[in-house]
Structure 1
């Protein structure tokens, strides 16, 4: 039924195009953008139709640039990259500064969203317009989306009530878009943590962790895809500049070597690139050992350090740090301290005698070296102090 409705829509639109002005056609184009939150698949098909039936090259490229934004929104980053690089030659051949600026802005935002700051800045330097209002209207808020997809960033549009939470849960159950699911799950996790609904918090936190791991795999694939595209560009540029095989070989080797050096340097700045240096087999082995470490509550050891843990897991600090940063998306200290807080919260929930202990004793039981560090991190995770948390938990049960 959806399939038939879509083609009825396309047929109606084809008649509409022949009888309406360009301005009216643009109105339909803007409406297609808004469809993304109602029906991702329909919006994409409408855009594909618009691209195939564009009145001129400028209109076609404008549709394709907006389709890039939609592809990112539905977590199809690789497809977005393919469209971006696929229209590069068409954009460069156009004598249209505005479209070229739009192309470079979206490319810069996309590169920054994927974590390639240097390449992002390189693209943005090509933008000629100085009209800040127009420039801001072109930005797709890729950076905002990147923040939304970070597990530990602050949640925008926080849920304020149970009624609001039920609306979000209904939206979560209806959407098939992983990006929207991620944002909904993060909002629900935050809400139920602040309301001390620990069972619901644990449920949505578990779902969020699972989805986060899958999106991280997709994001790493997209980053690798971008690297491959840049390498292809370098090769094409070299082929165009010099037909001589010997000269081509020398130039390409120098550029490739320089690119590899840049990647190594960039790796030190962006932790996500480090994962590519570890084989899947080694990564899985370390993750399994980390799971055993967590089950055995090794994090309760006050003297544990990243060095001692790496030795215990039979790996090195570099690999362990990379996996914690990229897979767990946490620093070593945050990883250990969050496990400790989750542990003590579970104890407080399951055994009321823990609620009678002094905060200093709870700090010691959870592996913290001092009460102050325990209180600080407890408040960072739960949003309140241990004493207030215990008081609210007791009152809710009464």
Structure 2
């Protein structure tokens, strides 16, 4: 079939409308394009027909909708911006505050998403908020609040933004449980997932890593199986990859970040793609610096093309400068030193709140001085001396590390023994009851007490040894929801559900190894199964993570100790 045939089918109604004396209704015109994807300009002939009809009839409500459609289906960002101005004009003419709010919100979204111009975006969002104050459309109200919070987050007001994202999450999630039209349910799910993603970003930037990981677990669990939210899932995977990097699981981080990238690139979201490239570069920097450079330069390419960068990716340039300095490539070192000064100037302008808090290897004055030194070529002797000092320091560190490694097992064993003895002596104290008034929770005291009692019984029955136990299963057993249980565990235990469960299992098996001689003769597979961990390797890794010593080394030391006693 000819490639032009589908297009002919799509445009055929236009010829029909042109030759038909009966003018089509707005709904009939929109039926021809409303199912097309965003930025599909095949819709524009119909959109223009829709706009023409609304202008002729001076129907400003439908004219506003027509310009909204023109914004949605136009590819070019400047065309979108032009149509958004027309949309605002038509909305103001309609005197409908909801339409006016939507129009200002739409223009703000274009500034934010297509241009990454945060200050004008926030100006438009504030106007949208003013017009939505008295609206009865709660979805519109929280959509405005969400987009204001997104810009606040980018500008560095993470605490204020996180409060608003929490409000949006609560509203959107409540709407997904109502008997609404499919499209409304879809939009509320998307609102919930996007607000949750942005909240995770805020908590990470506030260095509340345990809370961020806990929320991420909830997001990945709730989005599982919902294929229509593939972009939103990619944002969660991006956060998962960053979390893996922060835990120094570089191989897993690279795998997860690469999974997240295609859909984000497809959406032309260059802000988050630059963050992904930065963390991929940082992962490879640990093992293959030459390979890491390619990812760092991708971030630079995005900056050159869009004159945009997030503070989170600033360190990208420090690593490029360091790379070229180590390669003694003075031209590129100078080039990217200048580029870092440009980046800092931009961040200082667009991120006033953040710029004073960014940790820099070079502050502005030292960067300027370094640039002059490089340009005058006067620092070779200093660099050479620094190189030999650094080389000497490396040899010293390697020697100390080798010496320390030989004693690590003995030190960690002794420390673990001491911890176990202390735990045995304090068994009379109930570790479940936590009345620390400083721990804050969004849950009521009644809900908190009820869940804490159930957790205590759960621990006493050793139910945590059940393999494959999930947050969802435990929440169901406790007659609560996953969000409440996850937040309670995080607030009371200071860890995510995953780490809470792993901690119980490792403490349980460690106590058995310490007190029960028969347990020492079990295989790694049997020990893993006994405490509810699926694989031998995962058991060994978790034992080491919690106890600082491998289970094999601990068992050997324990047997050796018992042999000496006998």
- Compute the TM-score of the two structures, normalised by the length of structure 1: 0.43
- Compute the TM-score of the two structures, normalised by the length of structure 2: 0.33
Higher relative contact order (CA 8 A, sep 6+): 1
Kindly name which structure, 1 or 2, has the bigger radius of gyration based on alpha carbons: 2
